Amino acid sequence: MNDVLDVILRLLAVLVAFLVLPLAVGQTEHKVMAHMQGRLGPMYAGGFHGWAQLVADGVKFAQKEDIVPADADRKVFQIAPAVALLPYLLVLIVIPVGPHGFVGQAIDAGLFFVLAVLGVGVLGSLMAGWASANKYSLLGGLRTGAQLMAYELPMVLAAASVAMAAGTLSLPGIVQAYQWWWTPWQIVGAFIFFTAGLAELQRPPFDMPVADSEIIFGAYTEYTGLRFAFFLLAEYAGIVVLCALTTVLFLGGWHGPWSDSIGWLWTLLKTAVLAFVVIWLRVTYPRLREDQLQKFAWTVLIPLSLLQIALTGVVKVVIQ
Amino acid sequence: MNDTVLQYLLVAVVLLPLLGAGGALLPAPPGLKGKNPDQAVLRHGVTITGAVLALTIALAAGFDHGHPAKMQASTDISWIPALGIRIHLGIDGISLPLLVLTALLTFLCALYSYFKMPEGPSPKAFVALLLLLESGTLATFAVLDLMLFFLAFEMVLIPMYFLIARWGGAGRERSALRFILYTLLGSVIMLLGLLLIGLKAGTFDMVALATDSSHAGRHLSHTTQLIAALAIGLGLAIKAPMWPLHSWLPDAHTSAPTVGSVLLAGVLLKMGTYGFVRIVLPITPGAAHTYAPYLAAFAVIGIIYGSLACLALARGGSGGDLKRLIAYSSVGHMGFVLLGIASLTPTGVNGALFANIAHGLITGLLFFLVGALKDRYGTSDLDTLAGHTGAALYGKAPRLGGLLAFAAVASLGLPGLAGFWGEMLAMFGAFKPAAGLHRGAYLTFTAIAAFGTLLTAAYLLVVVRRVNMGERETADAPQPVLADIQTYEFAAWTPLVALTVLAGLWPAVLLGLTDPAVRTLLGGN
Amino acid sequence: MDYFHGYSVVGLVAVVGVLFVAVAFGAGRLLRPVVPTPEKLLTYECGVDPVGEGWAHTQIRYYVYSFLYVVFAVDSIFLFPWATVFAAKGYGGATLVEMFVFLGFLAVGLLYAWKKGVLEWT
Amino acid sequence: MHLAYPAVLAALLFSIGLYGVLARRNAILVLMSVELMLNAVNLNLVAFDVWLRDKLHSGQALTLFVIVIAAAEIGIGLAIVLLVYRNRGTADVDKLTDLAERTGGPGREDQAEEAEKKAEAAA
Amino acid sequence: MSTLAASGSVIQSVDWIAIAPPTITAVVALVVLVADLFLSDRRKPLLGRLTIGGLLLAGLSLLPLTDGDHTTFCLTTSPRDCSYVADHFTLVIQLLVIGGALLTALLSMHTMDELPAGEYWFLLLSAVAGAALLPASRDLATLVVALEVATLPTFALVGIRRGDRLSSEAALKFFLSSVAATAVTLLGVSFVYAATGTLHLTAIAHALPGVDPQLTTLAKAGAALTLVGFAFKLAAAPFHFWVPDTYVGAPLPIAAYLSVVGKAVGFSGLILVTVVAFKPYDAIWGPAAAALAALTMTVGNVAALRERPDAPHSAVRLLAWSSIGQAGYLLVPIAASAYSTTDHIGTTVAYALMYAAVNLGAFAVAALVSRTYKANRLTDYRGLYTTRPLAALSLAFFLLCLAGLPPGIIGLFAKVAVFSSAVDAGLGWLAVLMAVNVVIALVYYLRWTALLFVRPEGESAPATRTPAPLTAAIAVAAALAVALSGAPQLVLRFAAASLL
CA triplet A90, A96, A102: central angle to 5 degrees?
A: 110
Neighbours of chain B (3+ CB pairs under 8 A): E
Q: Which pLDDT score is estimated for D111?
A: 46
Nearest to E442 among B147, B155, B188 (CB): B188
Could you give the angle at which helices E314-339 and E345-372 cross, rounded to 10 degrees? 180
E260-292 pLDDT per residue, tens = 999 999 999 999 998 888 888 888 888 989 999
- Rounded to 10 deg, the angle between the A225-250 and A187-200 helix axes is 170
Residue in chain D nearest C80 by alpha carbon: D64
The answer to whether residue B180 neighbours chain E at the CB level (below 8 Å) is yes
The chain D residue lying nearest C66, using CA atoms, is D75
- Please give, rounded to a whole number of angstroms, the shortest distance from the CA of C73 to a CA of chain E: 18
Select the residue of A68, A106, A317 nearest C87 (Cβ to Cβ).
Answer: A317
CB within 8 Å of B54: residues ≥ 6 apart: none
Find chain C residues with C-beta within 8 A of E37's C-beta.
111-112, 115-116
Q: What does each C-alpha distance from E59 to B211, E98, E499 come to in angstroms?
A: 48, 6, 19
E55 exposure class (CB count in 10 Å sphere: 0-12, 13-18, 19+): buried
Domain that holds residue E18: 12-277
Q: How far apart are CA E384 and CA A297, in angstroms?
A: 58
Considering A146-160, D51-65, E142-156, the range whose residues carry the highest mean pLDDT is E142-156
Q: What are all long-range contacts of A37-41, with beta carbons under 8 Å and residues at least 24 apart?
A: A37/A283
The answer to whether C108 contacts chain A (CB < 8 Å) is no
DSSP per-residue codes, C3-60 = HHHHHHHHHHHHHHHHHHHHHHHHHHHHHS-----HHHHSPPBTTBPP-S-SS-----
Q: How deeply is C51 buried, as exposed, middle or buried, from its count of CB atoms within 10 A (0-12, 13-18, 19+)?
A: exposed
Name the residue facing D77 among E175, E245, E317 (closest C-beta): E175
Helix then strand then coil, % of chain C, to nearest 5: 65, 0, 35
Comparing CB atoms, the residue among C4, C63, C77 nearest residue D64 is C77
Q: Which amino acid is at E292?
A: L
pLDDT tops 70 at residue B93: yes
B34 contact partners, CB below 8 Å, separation of at least 6: B28, B40, B43
Confidence grade of residue E483 (pLDDT, cut at 50, 70, 90): very high
Same domain, E295 and E263: no
Task: Using CB atoms, pick whichever of C66, C76, C93 lies closest to residue A157.
Answer: C76
Q: Do E108 and E229 fall into the same domain?
A: yes
pLDDT at C41 over 80: no
Domain range D4-91, CATH class: mainly alpha
The residues, any chain, with a CB within 8 Å of residue C34's CB and separated by 6 or more, are A65, A66
CA angle (E373, E374, E376) in 5-degree steps: 70
DSSP A98: E
Report pLDDT for E4: 43
Read off the DSSP letter of residue A186.
T
Q: Residue-wise over E126-165: b if at least 16 C-beta within 10 A, else e?
A: bbbbbbbbbbbbbbbbbbbbbbbbbbbbbbbbbbbbeebb
Contacts of residue D90, Cβ cutoff 8 Å, sequence gap at least 6: D84
Segment holding B401, helix H or strand E: helix B398-411
Give the C-alpha separation, B59 to B99, whole Å: 10
Residue B340 pLDDT grade (very low, low, confident, very high; cuts 50, 70, 90): very high
pLDDT for res E320: 92
- Are A306 and C106 spatial neighbours (Cβ–Cβ below 8 Å)? yes
- Average pLDDT along chain B: 85
- Contacts for B331 with CB less than 8 Å, ≥ 6 apart: B241, B243, B246, B249, B302, B305, B306, B309
Taking an 8 Å cut-off on Cβ atoms, the answer to whether D65 and E312 are in contact is: no
Interface of D with E in 55-114 (CB under 8 A): 55-59, 61-62, 65-66, 69, 72-73, 76-77, 79-81, 83-84, 86-88, 93, 96, 98-102, 109, 112-113
Interchain touch A–E (≥3 Cβ pairs closer than 8 Å): no
Cα separation, E169 vs D90, in Å, equals: 11
Q: Which residues of E make CB contacts under 8 Å with B?
A: 350, 405-407, 409, 412-413, 416-417, 419-420, 423-424, 435, 438-439, 442-443, 446, 450, 453-454, 488-489, 492-496
Residue A145: predicted pLDDT: 82
Contacts made by residues A196-199, CB under 8 angstroms, sequence distance 24+: A196/A151, A196/A152, A196/A154, A196/A155, A196/A158, A196/A297, A196/A301, A197/A151, A197/A155, A197/A242, A197/A245, A197/A246, A198/A242, A198/A278, A198/A281, A199/A147, A199/A150, A199/A151, A199/A293, A199/A297
- Cβ–Cβ gap D65/E161 under 8 Å: no
Q: Do at least 3 CB pairs under 8 Å connect C with D? A: yes
From B162-176, B215-229, E195-209, E478-492, the region with the lowest mean pLDDT = B215-229
Nearest chain D alpha carbon to C4: D1
pLDDT at position B1 is 55
How far apart CA B127 and CA B149 sit, in angstroms, is: 24
Q: State phi, psi for E74 to the nearest 5 degrees.
A: -95, 160
The amino acid at B78: S
Per domain, the residue ranges of chain D are 4-91, 97-123
Q: Rounded distance, CA A271 to CA A95, Å?
A: 12
- On the question of pLDDT at B388 being above 70, the answer is no
Put simply, the answer to whether E9 touches C111 (Cβ < 8 Å) is no
Place B371 in a pLDDT band, splitting at 50, 70 and 90.
confident
> Which of D42, D60, D74, D80 to mutate to probe the C interface, most C CBs <10 Å?
D74
Minimal CA–CA distance to B112: which of B495, B497, B493? B493
Contact status of E13 with chain C (Cβ, < 8 Å): no
Q: Return the half-sphere exposure (C-beta side, CA atoms, 13 A cut-off) of residue C66.
A: 15
pLDDT at D91: 73
What's the pLDDT tens digit per position in E363-417? 999 998 888 888 888 888 888 888 888 899 899 999 999 998 878 888 988 998 8
Residue E3 or residue E26, greater confidence: E26
Residue B391: count other Cβ atoms within 10 Å of its Cβ.
Answer: 24
pLDDT at B217: 46
Average pLDDT on B369-395 reads: 78
> Predicted confidence band at E22 (pLDDT cuts at 50, 70, 90)?
very high
Task: Tell me chain E's radius of gyration from C-alpha atoms.
Answer: 22
CA distance E244 to E224: 26
| Residues B13-29: tens digit of each pLDDT | 999 998 988 888 877 77
E183, E189, E195, E197 alpha-carbon torsion, rounded to 10°? -130
- Cα distance between residue B114 and residue C52, in whole Å: 86
Nearest CA in chain E to D55: E7
Q: What does the mean pLDDT of chain E come to?
A: 87
Mean pLDDT for B89-102 is 90
Nearest 5°: phi and psi at B72?
-115, 165
Determine whether the interchain pair C81/D1 forms a contact, defined as Cβ–Cβ distance below 8 Å: no
Q: Cα–Cα distance between D2 and C106 in angstroms, integer? A: 40
pLDDT at residue B218, rounded to an integer:
53
Domain count, chain A: 1
A12 at the C interface (CB within 8 A)?
A: no
Q: Confirm if B147 and B198 have CB atoms less than 8 A apart.
A: yes
Asked if residue E192 and residue E165 are part of one domain, the reply reads yes
Q: Which residues share a beta bridge with E70?
A: E86
Which of C40, C44, C69 has the CB atom closest to A152's CB atom? C69
Chain E hits for B192, CB-CB cut-off 8 Å, are 435
pLDDT (0 to 100) of residue B173: 81
**Amino acid type, B59:** L
Spell out the SS3 assignment of E14-64.
CCCCCCHHHHHHHHHHHHHHHHHHHCCHHHCHHHHHHHHHHHHHHHHCCHH
> Taking CA atoms, what residue in D is nearest to E83?
D58
Give the per-residue pLDDT at E321: 92
- Residue range C2-115 forms a domain whose CATH class is mainly alpha
List, for residues C48-83, the tens digit of each pLDDT value: 777 666 666 666 667 777 777 877 777 777 877 777
A169–C contact, CB cutoff 8 A: yes
Q: Domain boundary at E259, E277, E295, which? A: E277
How far is it, in rounded angstroms, from Cα E121 to Cα E48?
7
For D60, the closest chain E residue by CA position comes to E5
Residues E32-38 have a mean pLDDT of 89
Domain extent for A70: 2-319
Model confidence pLDDT, tens digit, residues E190-215: 999 999 888 899 889 888 888 888 88
Confirm whether E153 is domain-assigned: yes
Q: Given its phi and psi angles, is residue C110 left (phi above 0), alpha (psi -120 to 50 degrees) or beta? A: alpha
Contacting partners of chain A (3+ CB pairs under 8 A): C
Task: Return d(Cα A6, Cα B25) in angstroms, integer.
Answer: 98
Q: Decide: E173 and E242 in contact? Cβ < 8 Å.
A: yes
Backbone angles phi, psi at B365, to 5 degrees: -60, -45
Phi, psi of E67 (to 5 degrees): -70, -25
What is the number of other CB atoms lying within 10 angstroms of the CB of residue B170?
Answer: 8
Q: Is D105 exposed, middle or buried (0-12, 13-18, 19+ CB in 10 A)?
A: exposed
Q: Taking residues E291-303, what's their average pLDDT?
A: 92
Residue E446: pLDDT above 50?
yes
Domain boundary among E221, E252, E277: E277
Query: Can you tell me the mean pLDDT for E337-355?
Result: 88
The number of folded domains in chain E is: 2
Strand A96-98 and strand A102-103: the pairing is antiparallel
Provide the 3-class DSSP secondary structure of residue E275: helix
Find the helix or strand (DSSP H, E) in which A96 lies. strand A96-98
Can you state the angle between helices A187-200 and A302-319, rounded to 10 degrees? 150
Q: CA-CA distance, E286 to E332, in Å (whole number)?
A: 10
C-beta atoms of D72 and C4 within 8 A: no
Model confidence at B54, in pLDDT bands (50, 70, 90)?
A: very high
Arithmetic mean of pLDDT, E96-123: 89
